[in-house]
Copies of this chain bind each other. A is one copy, B any other.
Amino acid sequence: MKSKMVKNALGRKVPVEVNGETVIPFKGVGKHRPRGKQHAPRISTAIDYPNDGNKCVDSLATALKKASISNNMTISTHHHLRNGDYVANQVFEFASKLGIKNLTWLPSASFPCHEPIIEQLKDGTINHIEGSMNGPLGKFTSEGKMKGIGVLRSHGGRYQAIQDGEVKIDIAVLAAPTADPFGNAHGLDGPSSCGGLGYALPDYKFADKVIVVTDNLVDFPAMPMHIEGNYVDYVVEVDKIGDHNKIVSGTTRITRSPDRLLIAEYTARFCKEAGIIRDGFSFQMGAGGISLAVADFFHKIMKDERVKARFAIGGTTQYAVRMLEEGYLEYLLDAQTFDLEAVDSMRRNRNHRNISIFHAYDYHSKGFFNQMIDVLTLGATEVDVNFNGNVNTHSDGYLLHGIGGWQNCLFAKCTILPIPLFRNRIPIIKDEVTTVTGPGKLIDVIVTERGIAINPRRQDLLDKVKDSDLPIRDIHELKEEAEKICGKPAKPQLEDNVVAIIKWVDGTVIDAVGQVKLE
């Protein structure tokens, strides 16, 4: 059933109905005002739970049955074990065995390790995914093979959607590196320790039933409470919840490419010249080879200038930990732990603090941490001459990446995209991006190996660096230079129908992703 399509405030054609639900087209940044009340969970009573607080059941299958898994439910998981997660696949394999149909999977992110879930997408166990569709799942979706329409949300948008009742979780299945029989859990200890579990917050707070799955069951109390047992229905002990070595991916090391190192250096120099790197400033530390290189340059500048940052929000890695330990950073606020050095730091260091995605990113709260960040770097698959950014699709139209925190991060005081001018001889700067993940209004600076383009809306930044020797250039010039080298890229060949939508941080639809035409 095809939905009517309308043009949203960015001129992008989007459906008004998705998977049988009415959706609201994007109205512009800060234009959509939510109405009504948050999702209200059912009132529980201790009468229904064991007097001795022991909620252990013998297997994940038992827990799912006790939670009354059935057709049409929404099942959520978190992604703190990243590409090493063993739990999500088991849930849907079991659901398939039971003959359950038409589930919605609501992961906080998916990874290549979740490729087996394609089987349950094919056999009808899962209708569609709301979350990220990375790699194999994205390709499957792009080719029009998923039954329902995919819904992509930013990390903060996922919290917003659950909080606002846009999506209701029937069962949350939460992997926990350490847990007690009451359901308190954290990610700091145990054979699968992976750091904070802040993405699980909306799941356990708002889900009807909550299952904690652990491979390190300890006596009450498991502390700190990254997951609060008062919200938990069942606890399951299993052999292994995942392989925590795989929380480290290729994107958690500094780039070695000379071009990319140059981009990182320009970015750091830009921040220095613009007066952003000063005592008490704040920055975001993401993963990604260039971002990490930028942070490393920041570190050097801070050492040289004897400047100390007040806080960084991460995505934390060994690089951020080093800054914290050397005293160049007072607080490291961690919503996602990207390597085992960072896991260890969070365990040891009081100023390395676990925060949730609610704190960092929820647009439907009374402000959020990310707004207070002075400078932040992000990747992109494409940008356009209006500074709109795309992180979801490639220029061939394939949906291969989730949004992550990308949209939420755009609300920092200065947002920089350090990106190469082209990748595999395909220019990155376009007349129009294949998919708008975030509006140009919020993207301040694009740094390439051949020059820096500043958004004309940011006259203040243009003024600050006008006397520097940085290669400040017009974005159109950069685009043309890339096209001279690589040629003008072909437009993606797409079918008429929508396979996924991209939600904005306020729950409105900023863009739709079309099915790719197969040869």
Contact = CB atoms under 8 A, between A and B. Distances in A.
Interface of A: 30, 33-53, 55, 163-164, 182-183, 210, 219-221, 223-225, 228-233, 280, 310-311, 331, 333, 350-351, 353, 355, 358-359, 362-369, 371-372, 411, 413, 506
A219 B310 contact: yes
Given A230-B365, A366-B232, A372-B182, A37 B38 contact: no
Nearest to A44: B366
Contacts of A183: 366
Contacts of A331: 221, 223
Given A46-B367, A367-B229, A371-B53, A39 B36 contact: no
The 10 closest A-B pairs by CB, nearest first: A40-B40, A37-B40, A49-B367, A230-B365, A53-B372, A34-B43, A38-B40, A30-B47, A46-B363, A44-B366
Contact of A310 (B39, B53, B220, B350): B220
A212 B52 CA distance: 37
9 contacts: A34-B45, A36-B43, A45-B363, A45-B506, A52-B371, A210-B366, A221-B353, A223-B331, A232-B366
A229 B362 CA distance: 12
Nearest to A34: B43
Nearest to A183: B366
Contact of A359 (B36, B43, B225): B225
Contacts of A367: 46, 49-50, 53, 55, 182, 229-230
Contacts of A33: 45, 47
B219 A44 contact: no
Given A221-B331, A311-B221, A37 B42 contact: yes
A364 B39 contact: no
Contact of A46 (B44, B231, B232, B364): B364
A72 B372 CA distance: 36
Given A230-B366, A364-B44, A365-B231, A333 B221 contact: yes
A287 to B, nearest CB: 22
A390 to B, nearest CB: 24
Nearest to A209: B366
A216 B269 CA distance: 36
